[in-house]
Chain A
Amino acid sequence: MTIDMSQFFQVFFDEAEEGLAEMEKLLLAVDVSDPDDEDLNAIFRAAHSIKGGSATFGLTDIAEITHVLESLLDRIRQGKMALTSQHVDAFLAVKDTLKSMLDGHRHGTAVDLEAVGDVRKLLLSLSEADQKPVVAVVAAVEAPSLPAIVIRYRIELPRLAARDMEALERELGLLGKIQKSMAADGGCVFILDTAQTTESIVEICSFLVNADEFKISLADDAISKEEQQGYGFFAPFVPQGASDEERGYGFFEPFVPLASTDLAKSAVVAAVPVEAEDAPVLAVTENHLEKKAKGEKPAAAAVQETSSIRVGIEKVDQLINLVGELVITQAMIEQRTSTLDPMAHEHLLNSVGQLTRNTRDLQEAVMSIRMMPMDYVFSRFPRMVRDLAAKLGKRVEFVTHGAATELDKGLIERIVDPLTHLVRNSIDHGIELPDIRLAGGKTDFGTLLLSAEHQGGNIIIEVTDDGGGLHREKILAKAKQQGMAVSDSASDGEVWQLIFEPGFSTAEQVTDVSGRGVGMDVVKRNILAMGGAVDIRSSKGFGTTISISLPLTLAILDGMSIRIGHETYILPLGYVVESLQPASEDIKDISGQGRVIKVRGEYLPLIPLYQIFNIESTFTDPSQGLVVILESDGKKAALFVDDLIGQQQIVVKNLESNYRKVAGISGATILGDGGVALIVDVAALLRSSRQLSDESVFS
């Protein structure tokens, strides 16, 4: 039996990347003066899994580095070596190198071999700084080919005579370490750890059992309890030379008793090599043994995590599309049955009601598959902030808020780059140097807040700094210098929007961080492309907030259907504030500017949709029809329509896939009767209701 490794490569790479990300997160969080044992254990485990995996897949360069890293971590974790900030920096550098090496293997990208060598030297020098003999470590490192890989097999046998069974066990025992257990059907299962191939096992078994009666497989679930790697397909394979370093964390079974004796702390622990997590109360008072017991607890959690499966995104999307169709069909049935006599068709109508609920639940569940927490994005910033602040000589405290807020995966991936840019900008331009801050009466460290929250059908992501704020005069001067048409009386909001213009930068000097004036325009363009909007609030001397608002998901939204003449349109419910029938005295004409409507003391522009869309409407006097108050980006307006039809969940269909973008329309959907209704692009309508009524937009 040969194992096709290639199918596991992808899994390994994914796991390794997660491991590295986790390691970085923990390293950044760790308090050097008083490191948390749990964290140290977790960092160690991450390094260990990557080592194990890379060794298995023959990525010896990664295995080597991780091995040294692991040995160092192990000593720190066991309290034999004190953690210093030097270590943390080194480990972060190692992480970066490992990442580039992984990418090198995965995508064939170039790896900076010099950096790899440097990191290795750095690690070794750190190891040497400790009193421990390094010989074993180096020896292990220089045994890169890892000749003997110990694999755990699971051998299932049918019912056999007790004598045969014993003979078999004895024979197999010669190959490696064997465990025997009885299966429910009277058969027997051996778990064998061996460096031999399956052929040898087959050979031995064939003496007593027919080849088709026994089954040899890789034991995976059997070991997942003791190891946290999660690559889970193979038993621990440990380079033989490294066994010395493997001790003390109850991972590689045969060595555990030895290790424990070596540590010579407690006979109890030696007797419970693996079950430590089940028995943390065994009154093990020794300090580092306690650590060990504690260290096993997250292992249990990690086992639960592995109950997830990796599925291709296209499968999920297909599922979402299918559910979308189902929702449409369900709406059709609901509409068709709504005209039936409720008395005569009670059962049918009940079932339809049930179907409605089930469909909605199903839809929610399916949509939630695509949702990912914002943490996915936020977690990559602490490192960046740390490095950048150090480089610029600034002190920055990084705070996140609402990391659990969920957003569609497609959007979350596209928000990373714009957000990265904004964070860099905030640190580079926003937060001042410590002495300037102190002179301004602030704390010497700046605060950078990254927050995410749901607001209606949108997610609001904000980057806030308590730095110097935007400089109105500077921006205006710069804009004029670049020949932009600006007036001094422009509102703050309008001035701030200038920084999104291409080629606009007020930085006095171009640094490698920012200042070239490319970027902010890209940020804005990216966000607009996602159907979102960017807003800036800034106050001189107090800081800047850049607020990004994005739709939660692009596929399904709650809509309100409205009627104008014979046509039906959909308004995304997230924008709808209220609807009312205005009194004629509340509607005022402003010459040349259209009409406004007074709603509770507030004058809102009246947008006559029938004029914009050129529809023959039933009413032309707003006091006969209805107005829907819409709000987007803090702007409000009243949309004049004939009638409200109702509220429903709609599946957004792209108009562009077969046609093209239409001004004022953001998409289309299919109604319960099978007809098509267009979705009004409310944000664009409010942004530019004045221009929209201008014919030129549609030419």
Chain B
Amino acid sequence: MSDNMSKNISGFGEKADSNGNEFLAFTLGKEEYGIDILKVQEIRGYEAVTRIANSPDFIKGVVNLRGIIVPIVDMRIKFQLGEPTYDQFTVVIILNISGRVVGMVVDSVSDVITLLPEQIKPAPEMGTTFDSDYLIGLGTLDERMLILVDIDKLMSSADMGLIEKLAA
């Protein structure tokens, strides 16, 4: 029963068992976000990127990740969340979105939390920075509230321009 619940609410239920889902919690500006831990390949510090000419601001450029060319996206610029600073605490979350590797710059990464399905509430249809299409819901853990992002959907969206649209 609880399995079904989680499917209905979160929209992804493969890993939903009684132990709940694990989310990587990170901060962007003043807000705390969570993404499915299974999409995360690794977490790295921010290093110099190679700028790609004439690309949008939030695409910082590309880096060499052990021989693979990986684009780096700065979420703070994309969603206008505070002033982007790059220091030794700046973190890049390397995501693996259906085989494509993308780096995402965030302010910091806090921890991995487990949320039971009943701790995930549907997101209200209102003004979060993220379009509610890209949200799984809001997670609550004690006093914390995490905005759970469907990172798959977000990164694949035309909005991000990371993946070439199929030529007509």
Contacts and interface: CB of A to CB of B under 8 A. Distances in A.
Contacts of B4: none
A567 B71 CA distance: 17
Contact of B162 (A567, A615, A660, A698): A660
Contact of A658 (B49, B52, B53, B71): B71
A655 interface: yes
A658 B100 CA distance: 5
Given A658-B100, A676-B64, A665 B53 contact: yes
Given A657-B69, A664-B54, A665-B53, 20 more contacts: A325-B67, A328-B67, A567-B50, A612-B53, A613-B53, A614-B53, A653-B69, A659-B71, A659-B162, A662-B52, A662-B54, A663-B54, A664-B53, A670-B64, A670-B67, A674-B64, A676-B63, A676-B64, A677-B50, A678-B62
Nearest to A613: B53
**A interface majority secondary structure:** loop
Interface residues of B, number: 24
Determine the interface band of chain A, counting residues with CB < 8 A from chain B.
20 to 34
Interface string B26-52: 000000000000000000000011111
A324 B66 CA distance: 12
A656 B55 CA distance: 14
Interface of B: 48-55, 61-64, 67-71, 100-102, 161-164
A662 B69 contact: no
A676 B50 contact: yes
A668 interface: yes
A365 B43 CA distance: 38
A656 B164 contact: yes
B124 to A, nearest CB: 33
Interface string A588-625: 00000000000000000000000011110000000000
A662 B54 CA distance: 8
A537 interface: no
A659 B62 contact: yes
Contacts of A678: 50, 52-53, 62
Contacts of B100: 657-658
A663 B54 CA distance: 9
A655 B61 CA distance: 11
A677 B53 CA distance: 12
Contacts of A177: none
Contact of B164 (A661, A668, A675, A677): A661
B151 to A, nearest CB: 15
A668 B53 contact: no
A363 interface: no
24 contacts: A324-B67, A325-B67, A328-B67, A567-B51, A612-B53, A614-B53, A614-B54, A615-B53, A653-B67, A653-B68, A657-B69, A658-B102, A659-B62, A659-B162, A660-B164, A662-B55, A664-B53, A665-B52, A668-B69, A676-B49, A676-B50, A676-B61, A678-B50, A678-B52
Name the 3 nearest CB pairs between A and B, nearest first: A613-B53, A660-B164, A698-B54
A654 interface: yes
Contacts of B48: 675
A615 B62 CA distance: 16
Contacts of A674: 64
A401 to B, nearest CB: 37
B96 to A, nearest CB: 10
A661 B69 CA distance: 13
A39 B54 CA distance: 62
A661 B162 CA distance: 10
Nearest to B97: A658
Of A328, A654, A662, A676, most B-chain CB atoms within 10 Å: A676
B57 to A, nearest CB: 12
A265 to B, nearest CB: 68
Nearest to B53: A613
A654 B67 CA distance: 11
B62 A655 contact: yes
A677 B49 CA distance: 10
B159 to A, nearest CB: 14
Given A670-B64, A675-B64, A659 B51 contact: no
Nearest to B163: A660
Nearest to A674: B64
B42 to A, nearest CB: 14
A239 B164 CA distance: 60
Contacts of B68: 653, 657-658
Contacts of A613: 53-54
